[in-house]
Amino acid sequence: MSGFRFESVTKTFGNEVIFRDLFLQGDPGSFLCVVGKSGVGKSTFLRLLGGFDQVESGRITVGGEPVTRPQKERPMVFQSYEQLFPWLPVWENTAFPLRVVGIDKSERRIKAMEALHAVGLEQDAEKYPHQLSGGMKQRVALARAWIAEPQLLLMDEPFGGLDMMTRETLQDLLLSLWREKKWTVVFITHDLREAARLSTDLLILQENGNWTLKMNELSRPRDPYSTELNRWIQDIQL
């Protein structure tokens, strides 16, 4: 678990400025949600932090170290269901980060079952991804990130394709894991209610490279339909 920093980061695509001079400090154990209209650069923000894209000027550090490339300490949970490998059973998908570092099969299996238990899928360990529903696939992706023992967990609209019920269940699951494991999470969403429910901090990305940071001190547990939460959402200017 580590914090992260954006120091005077600028990113452009051609003439379009995605963000200009972004300063941001994420404390260890914080839960940053990133919102903004589509095309405003939410994914770009996360891809920079993950090391999938490079900054033009300024620098990004995680736990004091500059980010230069993707690393397993910063696992990304994608929105796309293609993030699971269709030829591996659920438990081998979950244990994939361990396989890469050369941990043997029986130990991988034990760790994977532990992680699958945490996301409520130990019954489905032998299934293949195509036999799972969308919500179950995202649970597997979460278990896989969990097994990588993240310094920083990156989530790119992971619940974006799910129905309301499944989404709220997964939000609760993510929150309980976050509290238990004391993860630092950066979570992208286009759903303000989701952001209000999950975050400790909110980054609002706006057009022309502008951005606003907002604290979220609503008391937990947060009822997604309470008047308090609704009022908080109404204050947000996208």
Partner 1 sequence: MKRLRIKAVLILACCLIWQGVYWTGIYSSMIFPSLGTIFCALARDLVEGALVEQFIYSMRLVIEGLLLSIVLGLVIALMARSFSVFRSGIDLLISIAHPLPGVALLPLVILWAGIGEGAVLFIIVHSVLWPFLVSFFGALDRLPQTQQEVADNYEIFGWRRLIWVDLPGSFPGFLSGMKIGWSRAWRALISAEMIFGATSGSGGIGWYLFQKRVFMDTAGLFAGLVVIMIIGILIEGIFFRWLEKRTVIRWGMER
Which of residues 5, 20, 72, 214 is near partner 1 by CB under 8 A? 72
| Rounded Cα–Cα distance for residues 188 and 68 (Å) | 21
Nearest distance from residue 179's CB to partner 1, in Å? 24
Measured in residues, the chain has a length of 238
Integer CA distances (angstroms), 19 to 49, 56, 164, in order: 14, 11, 31
Phi, psi of 156 (to 5 degrees): -100, 90
Give the CA dihedral 215, 217, 223, 224, nearest 10 degrees.
-10
Q: Is 220 in the site for partner 1 (CB under 8 A)?
A: no
Residues 39-58: x where in contact with partner 1 by CB under 8 A, - otherwise, as a string: -----------x-x------
Which of residues 10, 128, 160, 169 is near partner 1 by CB under 8 A? 128
Nearest distance from residue 166's CB to partner 1, in Å? 20
Give me the sign of the Cα torsion angle 49, 53, 54, 58: negative
Which of residues 8, 23, 57, 100 is near partner 1 by CB under 8 A? 100
Region near partner 1 per CB under 8 A, out of 9-17, 69-77, 113-121, 203-211: 69-77
Beta bridge partners of 16: 13
Contacts to partner 1 by CB under 8 A? 50, 52, 69-72, 74-76, 78, 80, 82-83, 85-87, 96-97, 99-100, 128-131, 148
